[in-house]
Amino acid sequence: MLDSIRSPEDVRSLSSEQLTALVGEIRGTILRTVSQTGGHLASNLGTVELTLALHRVFKTPEDTLLFDVGHQSYTHKLLTGRADRFSALRTFGGLSGFTCRGESPYDTVSSGHSGSALSIALGMAEADRAAGRDRWTVCVVGDGALTNGMVYEALNNCIRSHDLRLLIVLNDNEMSISKNVGGFSAYLTRVRTSPRYFAFKRRLENGLVRIPLVGGGLARFARSVKEWLKKLLGQATVFEQLGIPYVGTVDGGDLPRLEEVLGGAKKRGGLCLVHVLTHKGAGYLDAEAHPDVYHSVSPFDPSSGVPQKPASGFSAAFGRTMCALAEKDGRIAAVTAAMPDGTGLTEFAKRFPDRFYDVGIAEEHAVAFAAGLSLSGQRPVCALYSTFAQRVYDQMFHDVALQKIPFVLALDRAGLVPGDGRTHQGLYDVSLFSSVPGITIVSPETEAELCCALAEAIGKDGATVVRYPKGAPRAGDRSGFTDLGAVQYTGPEGADIAVVTYGRLTENAVQAASLLPDVSVRVVKLLTVCPLDTETIRAALGGAKQVLFVEEGVRAGGVGEKLAALLSGTVKITIRAVGGLFVPPGTVAELEEMLGFTPRQIADEARRLVGKEDAT
């Protein structure tokens, strides 16, 4: 059936039997595709019926549909003309794993980070009201996003906007990435565990409506009495107490009931929040049993499931080092934002529960909270993914660096990140944080360097960013490198060219040098990328007058530009970095090829710079 679906219009005319068949086919397609490409599985399996109901009740794309985060939009993609390309999900040149404006007019925003969609939806609905448009704006927000402060800023702003055509769908699956944390999660648990109350309310309203002549009036009167009693007895939901009309809870697997409730909210008109209970991993037993494991997966065999392996590579090394250091120093604490597994802190959380804090999807709060720990004598390490550190610039500036306190920001997934694409690349942290006075940034290439860098950072009195890529290091033998502290180098004095880089690309630079037997090359690796030790770097260059700087980060404000300014007039620097584009999905190898970071491409550029491009 999926082959015949070209747009949501095709779905609106289907019978209940056809819809049941389509639901099964969509789930099978998602499972089959994600098992081959990797991606966000559990949340998408849980929102098939909800997405179908939204497209059947609302006339998209005239009515606008937003998904907060956007990683649960796979069914949406399948229903909006992209089924024939879905097998290329999260691949180079293929579909994004998130909503993407460039892919389809049905994707209202390009989204990949949590918490912002409700604010955008509110702004769109306000603009529609001002322009006299009668379209609806529908925003699907996960319960995990309710740990994000921006959601509450939007909800607070909704209070004066009851006449907006804005529908908020709270997609409550009891999970974010890992298990939900915090007071609001506990509150939603109390709300969602009152099914008898909601069933009684529905039966009463349906019974009253059936009474001839007066049934509709009685139902409306009962609703008004109910609202009055709830407020009098303090039983109204927090949304109702904020003045936002609330409907719930609704079984997210019951397609007819979903259509009934969503249609009722639409007919009512005006602002409304519908609370939908979905089941992460629905239809695939392994994902239902382990929704955290199946939140985001690499390719796997559906018949045997995802191997439940611990974190590996840099993430695992970070976790082991944190545990070892915490054994010796009772001041060390770990803070993360809904990423204990991904950042390698699961074992730390088990061994040191009193010094581990998962604050939910609230990166800004995580850094400010960790700053408070530091101000009271602890040594906090705040572990985030690099892409989410974009959110904490203000806190790193105002609450950390300005206070001149001990603080470590550990950034996993720095540099190029496979699969997730434009919203999740870790290419911006160096450019961002190097502009803040007093911050040190280190970029280790090996696990051993990561362990040393972390220990040194925890022992310092200032703020340090320790950044490292996803996966295992690729470094070969580094015994031939001379160590100058913040800088290492290998190669002859007075080389034709010095290739300067840091982090993961060091191995590419070493391999590039081996491809140039007729060119003398010195490879210089920066361990500390901010602040730059100009004199040590000059010494490491060994008299080379030609420098090729290769940077797995953005050019604007990056290390290459800063080094070029410091060495201006003494050497000629050519910079190869990321500039002028948002990097799409792909493997790291594919993205390095696209950006000119492979050993062969570096070697070709070095040969051109020294005037030997025609040599064999």
Which residues does the annotation mark as catalytic? 280, 363, 391
Burial call 261-289: b when 16+ CB within 10 Å, e when fewer = bbeebbeeeebbbbbbbbbbbbbbebbbe
Distance (Å, whole) CA 292 – CA 295: 5
Decide: 132 and 174 in contact? Cβ < 8 Å: no
Decide: 47 and 27 in contact? Cβ < 8 Å: no
Decide: 389 and 383 in contact? Cβ < 8 Å: no
* Cα 63-64-70 angle, rounded to 5 deg: 150
* Cα 232-234-235 angle, rounded to 5 deg: 110
**Could you give phi then psi for residue 485, rounded to 5 degrees?**
95, -95
CA nearest neighbour of 309 among 144, 471, 474: 471
| Tokens representing residue 447 in the block | 């696990």
Using the 8-state DSSP alphabet, how is residue 85 labeled? Answer: G
Distance (Å, whole) CA 250 – CA 235: 18
The beta strand positions in 386-447, using DSSP E, are: 407-412, 439-442
Burial class (CB in 10 A: 0-12, 13-18, 19+), 95: buried
Tokens 């559990």 identify what position?
Answer: 42
| Tokens representing residue 72 in the block | 């649960």
Start-to-end CA distance of the chain, whole Å, equals: 57
Tokens 């069933």 identify what position?
Answer: 199
Distance (Å, whole) CA 519 – CA 442: 30
The beta strand positions in 185-266, using DSSP E, are: 246-251
CA nearest neighbour of 178 among 426, 345, 351: 345
CA nearest neighbour of 578 among 398, 447, 429: 429
